[in-house]
Chains A and B, each alone.
Chain A
Amino acid sequence: MTDQTLARPEAKKRSLPHFNPVYVLVVALILAIIVMNPAFGEPTGYMNFLKRVTALAILSAGALYVIVSGGFDLSVGSIMTLTVIGSSMLASNDPNSTYWIIPLMLGIGAVVGLVNGLVVSYLKVPSLIATLGMMITLNGVAFMWSGGAPRGYLPDTFRFFGRYNITDVPVITLLPIAVICLFGFGAILWWGLHRTNFGRLLHAVGDNPQAARLAGVPVERVRISAFVVSALTAVLAGVILGGRAGVSVDIGSGFELQAITAAVIGGAQLLGGRGSVPATIAGALALEAIFTLLNLLGLAQPVRLVVQGLILIGAVALATYQRKRSGR
């Protein structure tokens, strides 16, 4: 007697078009910013905004892979820090070093993701704890490597991705390389999560790992791959952030929770099974827009943290409530 819902809820469900409210939220926030600061409507205004949000957006889309698989990746912020510190230490002002440093950093990122995935899959350490441990470890490594104070600089070839703008572009006047990266990597991550077998299996593993295993899904391999994707995007985000903001010892801290917040605003299901790359990128835009608004209102950094925390709790509570109401 408990197994049947039959046609009734289905009919109601179908009449509502699937439209993610995060897109409305982004538009509303941007409009609010333009009202308060008309300069934002100019290309330099919104392009700089996009440039600022790129690192978080790419990072969030990568972290989403782990969230969809049913886990958390708290190590991404420390991977960003390590990328920036490590690159600056290795570069020693040699412009040509960029061409081997970025691949090397991606390699380090892949190893970190692999270790995260192996620890979670085979040692059965909950991902929250495993990646928290990794976060502390990598922050320590970065600290030791730099000797406590940032030394060295990132060459312009490295900073190209985060800082350089293509100018004299018709209509939009300028086009930051970061924005090209945002669209490029965003498209690749979208393709991976929504158009490949890997993406569908990731959803299945996050939805019901037991059912996925009995359906023949290589659960461990899929989970590990998610952590590798997440770590690789963290390296890319680190390269872009380092390029834009330069070197500092705690440059990536706090990004792990911002990424999770962005995914949740975008409607991702914490504990797995559901999430969208475009909506997560929109979630990152929304989060950054909120910060911009707070800035315009003259509110300082501590308020940002309070707001971010409340959003995370509120978004999860809302999503849980909606899920309870709409089905079992």
Chain B
Amino acid sequence: MSGTPVIEMRGITKSFPGVKALRGVSFACGRGEVHALCGENGAGKSTLIKILSGVYRPDAGEVLIDGETKHFSHPQQALLAGISVIYQEFSLLPERSVAQNLFLGREPLRNGLVDSKAMVAETRRVLGLFGVRHRIEPDTLVADLDVASQQMVEIAKAVSLNAKVIVMDEPTAALNEAECEVLFTLVEQLRASGTAIIYITHRMREVTRIADRVTVIKDGEVAGSFDQVPAPEAVVRAMVGRDISEYYPEPATPAEIGRPVLTVAGGNNSALRDINLELRAGEIVGFAGLQGAGRTALAMALFGAKSFATGTMTLDGETVKLNSPRDAIRAGIGMLPGDRKASALVLMQSVRDNGMLTARAFANLFGTADRNRFTDVDGMNALLDRIKVRAPSYEQEMRFLSGGNQQKAIVARWLALKPKVLIFIEPTRGIDVDAKASIYHLMRDLARAGTAVMMVSSDLPEILGASDRILVMREGRIVGEFGRSATETELMLAATGETDVAA
């Protein structure tokens, strides 16, 4: 970094009633620099950005733009000073065209009327700057664009405002791998043109890929500041506040992998083609692939929610026909859905009730709720204790727990039933680093106890770190099988179909 940073925040402190959100945080970003801002959920990243963009005012500390102290009392002022923030929820108007969104509130006028021609021309020019002119037409309605293109429009808007600083808040959250690459290229172009970029993420891969410097925030303080991008472990250690050399547990030894528990031969349905697979006791099999490649459809077929139309499925050597999740659970297959809020949690019920739900579903309807043949209240309490579900009380309603603790409670639901096969879909989506590690260890403990574990995940490092064997899916088929020594590139190539690797 040379000269005065474009943006500098010094000793920022901010309190909310009852919480000190930020304590003496300093942060700077220079021209043509990508500065990654990392931290767990709730660490204070968002508060810092909201102070930068004028949404909040700091209790102490100052914000300097090009070396001058500024006091923003309104986001509009920050915008005029050249600070653009691209939030996870876009601020585009869906029923307006791309050009109209770009010029929202500052439409060029000619003879007192909006000069549409100038708007379209300028939009074309800006989109052309980063080579997406052929992808996005200025007249298209924003609602008709995919998420990645909408993000492009957000960035184009920032560029057309001559932003000196662009803040991107977890920009890849909704993007697939190919779209991420386009975004990274775009970020590199912006950097080359001298824009300062603050890039908020907790994905180490992205830090390594595009950041020049890294600042880690933990509990409202700067926990680590790196002028060069360090090894991912160093960043994660700063985020979590302890050494996590055991982030991913040890893989299974060959001796631990046992007999095949579940096999599918020639499985087909509307979303799946010719599925042949084998899940073995003691093994964690990771399923990688792009969105819509059929991984979730496969999980749903195995779980009886959307069964195979043809093909045979065996469980412990016996042919089974599963017509509902209830059939699957009775046969010994469990599943943790990817969208916890929509598909796994009963949010108004207690943590313990969530844990006991499936056990109760298979008990005598008019028997006592306190105990059944799988577990009882004390047993569930002990289980929740053992897997360290953090709640003030297990009587607490589920909705007040953090994502990580909610997920652990759902794991407890299945642990109580001791399934033969357990399917995890995006097991760590939206939960923080610390809780992720414990989910991986829970998965491994289950495998060690003889369960066959299937893990569907879009997070490649997670696939590589937590699986014993990796299957890649594309267009409803299993197109590749890899060991845990595979690389992300190999998996990506198989997932996108650049090269076909025989299963």
Interface residues of A (CB under 8 A from B): 1-6, 8-11, 13-14, 192, 195-201, 203-204, 207-208, 210-218, 221-222, 225, 269, 273-274, 327-328
Interface residues of B (CB under 8 A from A): 18-19, 41-42, 45-46, 88, 169-170, 303, 305, 325-326, 329-330, 335, 337, 342-349, 353, 356-358, 360-370, 372, 391-393, 396-397, 399-403, 413, 430-432
* A192-B368 Cα distance, complex, nearest whole Å: 9
How far in angstroms is the closest Cβ of chain B from A292?
33
Which of B345, B358, B432 makes the CB contact (< 8 A) with A216?
B358
| Subset of 26 A-B contacts with CB under 8 Å | A1-B46, A4-B41, A4-B42, A5-B400, A6-B402, A8-B18, A8-B19, A10-B391, A10-B392, A13-B396, A13-B400, A195-B369, A197-B369, A200-B353, A200-B357, A201-B361, A203-B349, A208-B342, A211-B346, A214-B303, A215-B361, A216-B329, A216-B358, A217-B326, A327-B399, A327-B400
* A273-B360 Cα distance, complex, nearest whole Å: 16
Which of B41, B344, B357 makes the CB contact (< 8 A) with A217?
B357
* A108-B167 Cα distance, complex, nearest whole Å: 67
Whether B364 pairs with A207 at a CB distance below 8 angstroms is: no
How far in angstroms is the closest Cβ of chain A from B41?
4
Evaluate whether A3 and B402 lie within 8 angstroms (CB atoms) in the complex, with A216-B329, A217-B361, A273-B349 already known.
yes
**Residues of B with C-beta under 8 A to A10:** 391-392, 396, 400
Residue with the highest number of chain A CB atoms closer than 10 Å, among B361, B369, B403: B361
**Residues of B with C-beta under 8 A to A273:** 346, 348-349
Whether A197 pairs with B363 at a CB distance below 8 angstroms is: yes
**Residues of A with C-beta under 8 A to B353:** 200, 203-204
Instruction: Give the tally of cross-chain contacts (CB within 8 A).
Output: 136
**Residues of A with C-beta under 8 A to B360:** 197, 200-201
Q: Mostly helix, strand, loop or mixed at chain B's interface?
A: loop
Whether A208 pairs with B346 at a CB distance below 8 angstroms is: yes
Nearest A residue to B337 by beta-carbon distance? A214
Nearest A residue to B305 by beta-carbon distance? A214
**Residues of B with C-beta under 8 A to A1:** 41, 45-46, 88, 169-170
Whether B393 pairs with A14 at a CB distance below 8 angstroms is: yes
Which of B45, B325, B362, B365 makes the CB contact (< 8 A) with A225?
B365
Q: Mostly helix, strand, loop or mixed at chain A's interface?
A: helix
**Residues of A with C-beta under 8 A to B345:** 208, 211
**Residues of B with C-beta under 8 A to A199:** 369
**Residues of A with C-beta under 8 A to B18:** 8
Which of B348, B368, B399 makes the CB contact (< 8 A) with A269?
B348
Whether A3 pairs with B431 at a CB distance below 8 angstroms is: yes
Nearest B residue to A9 by beta-carbon distance? B400
* A207-B342 Cα distance, complex, nearest whole Å: 11
**Nearest 4 CB-CB pairs, A to B?**
A3-B403, A207-B346, A216-B329, A273-B348
Whether B402 pairs with A218 at a CB distance below 8 angstroms is: no
Evaluate whether A212 and B346 lie within 8 angstroms (CB atoms) in the complex, with A5-B402, A197-B366, A204-B357 already known.
yes
Evaluate whether A216 and B325 lie within 8 angstroms (CB atoms) in the complex, with A11-B392, A208-B345, A211-B346 already known.
yes
Whether B343 pairs with A214 at a CB distance below 8 angstroms is: yes
Evaluate whether A216 and B362 lie within 8 angstroms (CB atoms) in the complex, with A3-B402, A4-B41 already known.
yes
Nearest A residue to B346 by beta-carbon distance? A207
Which of B348, B361, B402 makes the CB contact (< 8 A) with A274?
B348
Evaluate whether A14 and B366 lie within 8 angstroms (CB atoms) in the complex, with A211-B343, A215-B357 already known.
no
Whether A6 pairs with B361 at a CB distance below 8 angstroms is: no
**Residues of B with C-beta under 8 A to A213:** 325
Nearest A residue to B395 by beta-carbon distance? A18
**Residues of B with C-beta under 8 A to A274:** 348
Whether A328 pairs with B399 at a CB distance below 8 angstroms is: yes
**Residues of A with C-beta under 8 A to B365:** 196-198, 201, 221-222, 225
Nearest B residue to A203 by beta-carbon distance? B349
Nearest B residue to A323 by beta-carbon distance? B348
Whether A6 pairs with B347 at a CB distance below 8 angstroms is: no
**Residues of B with C-beta under 8 A to A327:** 347, 397, 399-400
